[in-house]
Chains A and B, each alone.
Chain A
Amino acid sequence: MNAAAHDHDPVHDPMIPVPFRIEKVRRDLSDTFTMELVPEAGGEFAFKPGQFNMLYVFGVGEVPISISGDPADRSVLVHTTRAVGTVTEALDALKPGDSLGVRGPFGTAWPVEAAFGHDLVFVAGGVGLAPLRPAIYQAVANRDRFGRIIVLYGARTPEDILYKKELERWRGRFDLDVLVTVDRATGKWGGNVGVVTNLIARGGFDPLHTASFVCGPEVMMRYSAQALEKKGVDRGRIWVSVERNMKCGCGLCGHCQWGPHFTCKDGPVFRYDRVADLFQIREL
């Protein structure tokens, strides 16, 4: 047998990470943090809302993390990560000035432009708000192109509300509706208690002219899509973001297959009517 091959072009190979330096780290929640990164070699980073990067911690490994910054700001790359495994915990241990590797951006985007002329309803659950944030930024930047813009957000407890300050700022605007609900009220919480689908049921949008972007745990997305349909929103105008085992990010490794789709490049953002049937198949 011939020896292991190792012949990759470091410029064009999608498998080679590019070093980025951590500029800032902000702790959002007890286990969730947001990093701002800049390329060590200089230059900009362009992406579309909903896309993700593979983040590489030197010698430890790599994880797919969605980009959560403003797509209009190419000078900095923003990632919000929840520390739940070896690599994300290693990411959590990094400090400003440290380096990490970035491959990407990969995957499909929230079709913000396709929603022009409609009411736009964001439905987020837990850290699922992070992949939606770039789309919210983009929608707000094009505020006059939409009817109502509604952000519905479900969190575990009031302490688990991500981007709290930003949500408050958005809620302070006269042209955005921001509704937050928690599964479990704690402390002096005076807001909504219950699942995010309750907020969908309350409406406030014109279902016949509504586009909706849904992101959160898969169960939450399935029931949210169902609640939106029940309100009269067409499945062809609902988009969801699906998580599978993305290892290469570019359709070469096969791990993230979901029915006919490579989640990493045909997704993560899928139009709901194209995948609704797949959601029904167990262990697909």
Chain B
Amino acid sequence: MAKAKSNSIATPVLDTSGLDGLIKLLRDKGYQVIGPHRADDAVVYDVIDSIDALPAGWGAEQSPGRYRLRRRDDDALFGYGLAPQGWKRQLYPPRQKIFGASRQNGGFAVDAPPPPSPPMAFIGVRACELAAMGRQAKVFGDRDFADPGYQRRLAEAFVVAVQCNEADSTCFCLAMGSGPEVTTGYDIKLVEVVTKDRHVFITEAGSPRGAKMLKALKTGKASPADLSAAERSLRHAGQQQRRLDAAAARALAANPEHPRWDQLAERCLSCGNCTMVCPTCFCTTIDDVTDLKGDHAERWRKWDSCFTLDFSYIHGGAVRTETRSRYRQWITHKLSTWVDQFDETGCVGCGRCITWCPVGIDITEEAAAITDQGRT
């Protein structure tokens, strides 16, 4: 991933076979190419080998507690809105082996680390997802300690961003300043233009390696109609139903005893779905395991959720025994104390926590209510 750089006079476009060529080229260069793919009645990010794997013609409806795929009336490849899982699954996998160790002359020795996995190329990264990568990059290395694995994977990743042409009902990236326009953090940016007789991607390089890659592909020129369609789409994507006042939400930490926490706890199932789909949530726990003989041990790091009782366990018991305390921890961290820690908010406005909450709790609504912004 590299910084964006404005350039180019004539705007290049790729057609669908050009996009396929990009995927093939990335694969030839040794990248493991990961992109959207329809599976299990959802769009997931998975290893793909051509554009045939992309969810052509599929869209999705999202609302609080609801996600349904539906057929679109066009063949858009990136018309599915936001996939349930962001790219943290690739950049910070749910299970990571931290080390293996073996018993050795009375002591133990840490095994040599295995060779690193190949670099990844991401196809179809949204603006809010790019913002989320930036947030996590800061968590995993901005300050005293870094996670070398995350930093390496992110630095190596080739990012093909795709700008949103429409907004889901749960989106609020505009309010969080993280979208819908893709402005930075990509190697190649695509804007999909699809009409009855034309299907192209307005293309822009955001880094030298992105430019190099584009040069190796057969591109056309964007027509004035393409460009105005792209503009229209961006406006369309900016029409969002939800908003969140990030500055006002800072006050969450100052309201630990608001009665709304109790009302929330009446609804919240403490299931942790929001933390699993949140693209910035980074908490993990540790599993230490051994083989049956006890001669070889491994340590694994697994995603964890602040909604579990064990999360806050100290000798004697858990600190946050009540659902209200756990929800309070999550949303307060996300919107308030994250700013204390990292000088930016922990929310990018993707709305996944709203869609994937089984009871449809809406972070924007709760933040407004608890900070008394005159909404309920």
Contacts and interface: CB of A to CB of B under 8 A. Distances in A.
A/B contact in complex, CB under 8 angstroms: yes
Contacts of A257: 329, 333, 337
B145 A251 contact: yes
Interface string B297-338: 101110010100001111100011110110001000100110
Contacts of A61: 286, 288
B46 A254 contact: no
A98 B341 contact: no
B110 A17 contact: yes
B285 interface: yes
Interface stretch (A1-9, A140-148, A166-174): A1-9
Given A58-B108, A244-B314, A2 B304 contact: no
A85 B253 CA distance: 33
Contacts of B329: 257, 284
B143 A251 contact: yes
A145 B95 CA distance: 51
Given A2-B93, A3-B117, A14 B256 contact: no
B32 interface: yes
Contact of B148 (A8, A281, A283): A8
A19 to B, nearest CB: 5
A6 B110 CA distance: 13
Contact of A19 (B107, B120, B152, B336): B107
A283 B106 CA distance: 43
B208 interface: no
A252 interface: yes
Interface string B69-110: 000000000000000000001100101111101010011111
Contacts of B365: none
Given A5-B117, A245-B313, A245-B319, A255 B96 contact: no
Given A16-B99, A254-B284, A257-B329, A84 B304 contact: no
A59 B312 CA distance: 23
B242 interface: no
Contact of B98 (A1, A8, A60): A8
B67 interface: no
Contacts of A255: 283, 285, 304, 311-312
B374 interface: no
Contacts of B120: 2
Residue picked from B46, B47, B98, B289, most chain A C-beta under 10 Å: B98
Interface in B116-165: 116-117, 120, 139-140, 143-145, 147-149, 152-153
A260 interface: yes
B113 interface: yes
A5 B149 contact: yes
A10 B110 contact: yes
Interface string A229-257: 00000000000000111011011111101
Interface residues of B, number: 72
A15 B89 contact: no
Interface of A is mostly: loop
Contacts of A8: 98-99, 113, 148-149
A61 B300 CA distance: 11
A247 B97 CA distance: 15
A262 interface: yes
Interface of B: 32, 34, 44, 46-47, 89-90, 93, 95-99, 101, 103, 106-110, 112-117, 120, 139-140, 143-145, 147-149, 152-153, 253, 256-257, 282-286, 288-290, 294, 297, 299-301, 304, 306, 311-315, 319-322, 324-325, 329, 333, 336-337, 340-341
Interface of A: 1-10, 12-17, 19, 21, 40, 56, 58-62, 84-85, 97-99, 101, 243-245, 247-248, 250-255, 257, 259-260, 262, 265, 281-284
Given A59-B288, A101-B101, 19 more contacts: A1-B46, A5-B149, A5-B153, A8-B113, A12-B148, A15-B301, A16-B98, A17-B110, A19-B109, A40-B107, A58-B290, A59-B289, A251-B143, A253-B301, A255-B311, A255-B312, A257-B337, A283-B320, A283-B321
29 contacts: A2-B32, A2-B34, A2-B93, A5-B93, A7-B148, A8-B99, A8-B113, A10-B99, A19-B108, A19-B109, A58-B101, A58-B297, A59-B289, A61-B286, A98-B106, A243-B315, A244-B319, A245-B313, A252-B282, A253-B283, A253-B286, A255-B285, A260-B253, A281-B257, A283-B319, A283-B320, A283-B322, A284-B256, A284-B325
